[in-house]
Each structure stands twice: as C-alpha cells, then as structure tokens.
Structure 1
Amino acid sequence: MKIGLEVEYWLVDGDGELIAVPSELPADHDFLEEEFIPPLLEVLTPPASSHEELRTALVDRLEATLELVDEYGYRLVPLGSPLARESLSITSERGKVLQRIYGEELEYAKHCAGTHVHFDKAEVVRQLNLLTGLDPALALVNSSPYYSSSQVASSSRAAVYRYEAHREFARYRDLWDYVSDIEEWNARVEEHHRDLRRIAEEVGIDREQFERYFPPESSVFTPVRLREQSPTVEWRAPDTALPSQTLRLVEDVERLLAQTEYKEVAVGETGVWADRIGVPPFSELQELSREAISDGLRSLRVQDYLATMGFDVTRYDPIADRIERNWTIPRERALEIRLRFADELEADVERLS
C-alpha cells in the first residue's frame, strides 16, 4: 500500500511572528504548496511503497524546506494552531471563493494546521470505515490546546474546525457515519456538493467558477475523504506534529489498514481479531472522538480504546500535553512556544536523518 503525506507548518520569523510564505518557494519547488492563508506552508511527499521510503522522503523534503526558509531567516512551527489571536487574510483565488460561500464561518478554518495522509485505494469501503473508526487516534499527536489566545481543547484545531461551524456547514467538516457500500458514499458527496453549489449560487458565484474550484470530491473537508483523482483514501484527522510522531502514527494506522484486504470491518465489539477488525457504533465513536479532541491522552477511555485497537500509547508524546494550560495565553508566551517547537522540529529532523 503506497502512502503519501501532506503536512502543514506555520512559517514564523526570528521573533516567532507569523510571516507570509515567499511566493518563489512553492513556485520553484514542487514539494511545497501554499495554503489559502499566507503563513501556512505545506510539505508534500511522493507516494512511498514502504515506511522507510516514506520516512526518507519526508526527512529529505523537510531538510530542504528548513534550508530554504532559513535563507530568509524564517522557521517552521509544528503546531495545530498559532496559539495567539491572529488576523489572517485569504490570498488564494480558491480561498476567496470559499470565503464568499462560507462567510464568517470560514474563520474557524483559517487558523488550523494539519496532516493529510493518502493511502492507496484497495478495499475502499473497509478502508473508509476503519479510518472513521480510528478517528480518536488523532489524540496521539494533538499539538495545540489554544485557539485565538484561549484554551479550547487538547486539539483546538479539531475542536473549532468541526464543532464551531453553523449546522449548515458543520456537515462539510465533521466525521461522517460508516457506509455500507461505495454508492452510499458517492451519494453523500453528490448531495453535499449539490447543496454547496446552491449556497454558492445564492451569494452570486456562477456555476462554472464553482465547479472549477470545487468538484464533488473537493467540496467536503471531512476527516476521511475518498479521492478519485489521486486515487487514494485520505485521512485528515491529525494535527500537524513533530515528524517522528507523525511517522509513527502513520505506521500504526497503515498496519491496521493493510489488514482490510483480508479482514472485515465490523461495527460492534471493538478490537482486532484473526478474521475481523471491530469498530464501535457511530454514536459511541462520536463520544470517543470528542474526548480525544477535548482531553487527548488525558482521557483514560481514549487510551483504553486505542490500546484495544493495537496502539501503544506510551510511544507517543503529544505536544499539547507539553504546553502549560491556563484559561488564556499571553501573546509573548505564544511566540516563545512557537520558537521552542521550531527548535524541536529542527532537532527532530536531524535525529531522523
């Protein structure tokens, strides 16, 4: 099973202030992409056939990226949010169209940095359902308890992205229920795409422009997506994190996902057996996911569930658990934490290399 990564990092200057990505970086390097806000930079790996190949690709690209941004005196920060309150403008054309559709609701997506993992499609329905059932595994790499200077959750990124939106838009960001077949999945996507197109037309976006930026599979931003163009099953649940922790999580998830080629994914009793992988009923899963987002590995229930699914939680050290928790965070402290984890990212890459 080939695996590809897209990992987002904040770009900061020597004082820890967010800084716009220089346009020539993504223009001149095909493994870098701009996001729809200026200080967010995405590092991409090509599809890898083994974990060692994936590790090498990510480390090589991170080393190159760190050298490139260092020429400007900039740093990369692996935090799920920038911690402090920031005023971030949208610069990409796709982002501007999205802002017209979502209006103020897009604010909750502008301060989020995550990890997107692409797995080759195989037993697609089983893959979709298992990745859905593994949503609480995001707790293993939660990386920011603060959003806009206030303590929100162990993963403030996931909390605001999924739960702060109006009901009309939350369905485009939150976890979807399990599916029985691929036709059911495609029908959901088509329904949501049709509804989003209607909203776009109501705010004056013509159909041609909408379809150019938002084909059906790109019109939803759920934690699990099916990508026909790649073609992959995409897992978007985790925060950005230190690369060693991200690689460990991807390896653990892929180890389970590979078993879907010869094991059923059954809803009910949870666990991994010789003939099946059991995931909890969706209502129970939603409770686990909320605890994983709000409390992370501080939740014994989440720890127990992940252990039942074969994860060794003692091998993880989430950044969020290493940041002190107060009701609010002073801006000066937020800048210090950004620089601290910029240091840790660089040290982590050096260890991996």
Structure 2
Amino acid sequence: MAKSDIDARFERDPLEFMKIHTVQPQDYKDRGTQSATALYDRTPHSYNKPGAVLAPRDSTLALTGADNQIAFTKLSRTDNQYGESKNQYNLFFYSKAVAGLSSMDDYMASYFLPWTSDHLTKIVIPPKIPARHGVSLAVQRQRDPDLFFTAAVNGCSVFVEGDPRHPTVYHAGTTESRSDLSDANPFLAGNARLHWTRLFEQQRQGAGDYGSVHKDDYVNYLGTGTTQEAAQYKSFLTSEASKQLKIHSATAEGSIFGLRDVQGAWSFYLQKNVRFVFTRLVKKKIMLKTSHIPATKTINKGFSNEAVVEDTRTVWTPVQLIKFFPGSNKTPASARLEPATIKFILDAY
C-alpha cells in the first residue's frame, strides 16, 4: 500500500498546501491497545473513575513516552452534497498500535499534542535523530517526523518556548463558560488569554522569548466575535457581489501546525481560515431541474420565463499563514487574501 495522492502532495510541500487548503486537525480517533497506557503523566481532573488520583484543574499534563508523542493520520476531504470538495480537510489521529494493524506507509506521521479541558497539555519535542545508513526516508519520518499538529482550536491558547531544535508546546482550553465571572471556576478577570498566559509563565522552562496564539488571533478579535478578515470579506461580498451571491455567514477559524527544516529547527504557524456559507443567485431563461440546481423560483411577475437559481454551498479558504515561533512576534508567512480574491475563489465553486 501507499499514501493517497493528496497525502503525498501534502508531504512534498506542507507549507504550500496549507496556504491553499484549510486543514483542521481533530483529536485521537483510535488509540487501540495503547489506550491501556496513560496518555499523560497525570490524570485529568474530569476523569470519572472511582479511586483515581486526579490532577488539579488548570494544572499541566505532559505527554509520556515516544509512542504517545507521535501519531499517524490521513487527510480526509470534506465534500458537499454534490460530491465536490469544500476545500477543507480533516485530520483524525491514530496511535502507532492502530496504524501498524494495516500499513504504516499509508499514514503521515506527526508529533501530536491532544488537548484536555481545563488543563494545559504539554509536549517536549526531542532533537532531530540523525539519518542512519540503510534507513528509508519513510521509516525515518515514522520514527521522527518533521511535522507537528495540535488538536483543533476554537478559543484555545497555544504556547511554544525553548530551543527551536527542541521546543516545548502547550495547548490550553476549556469546554466551560469560564469567561463568565458567575461560572463556578471563572478565568482570571474573566479573560482566557490572561488566565492561560499567567499559568504558562508560572512554569516556563526558560527565560527567553516564546510564541503564543490566542482566540483573538483567529476567532474573536477584540471581543467582536469574529476576525477583521472575516468581517471585511462578508461586508465586501454583501455590497459588491449581492447580485451573484447571498452571504449567509463568514465564520473565522484557525489551525496550528509546525514544520522542521533540514537544519533541525522548528517553526510554528497559525493557519487563519474563513468558512463561507452562501447562495449563488443566477438568472435563467428556463426552469432547469438538475441535481446541481436544488431550488428555483420565478421572479419579476409577468416574465414567467425568467428564474433565479438558488444553489447553497459551504466553502473554506485559508486567508493567511502567520508564523509565531521562533521569536515572540507574529509575522506573515503568506500574503493575506484580498476581498476580490475571495470573491474569485467562491465563484469557482
């Protein structure tokens, strides 16, 4: 067996792929026999098992052992009702034990950091293992990948610190409404960014710069409930393309990934995405009925031979990649898409 064409394309140039396609890492789908081994060095506070010694809320859980640091995954394309791509791929992760049941050559290997609600999860990525004579590139990648993902972020904070050849990554988040001060366990001053940053800084491994991403970077800029890009795109499309497109929503989303270069140094990136739900409006002289035209309605009374075709679709697009580590500054790793380019992309679907 071998990797799919899309996985092989991703591995050839992950950064270029992430500039074009939205990739959303999920969490472990199956750990198989490795489920019998604890994933973290301590038990999450929400673990519901009698007799378990639980870590305190807001404490740090570190991944244990090499087999828990490396996961195996495949790109899974999301299609619309017509079997056409939405330009979005999910990543579901499997343990080595599960991947080895078929062929590990079918999978992409990645350092992977899961998340657990009301904790900081942590992975320490080891220095690159020197290539060994007689060991294939595929086997080398399985043992020591040059790729990193953390589980999906939807308001979470991610921190990276340390030597770029040997970084430590943290993922912090919650499923609770802790920004509400009336919550039983509210964030410090009701502020998730402040809360997680304070906890991270209390246990840092060094005193150098660190990189971080927070929800205002990718889903909720200054408490607006969206990002500047998503708001600008929706405004532009609503005013400039109203005769062709009806924009129902433009939802900001984000993904975190890391890549290691040939010198063994890691860089970490935020992929800023927008998910558009829109209806394409097209005048037709006749009433067409095909699987690609789910609804029609007559317009302009007295002109029954004119109709507007309504074709609702969902499409994702990355709008920019931001490099946030090494260093403490966020720098563009790709050009930010202009509103007219977004319209061109939507027109293609």
Q: Which has the larger radius of gyration?
A: 2
What's the TM-score bracket when you normalise by the shorter of the two chains?
under 0.3
Higher share of residues assigned strand: 2
Higher share of residues assigned helix: 1
Q: Which has the higher contact order (CA 8 A, sep 6+)?
A: 1
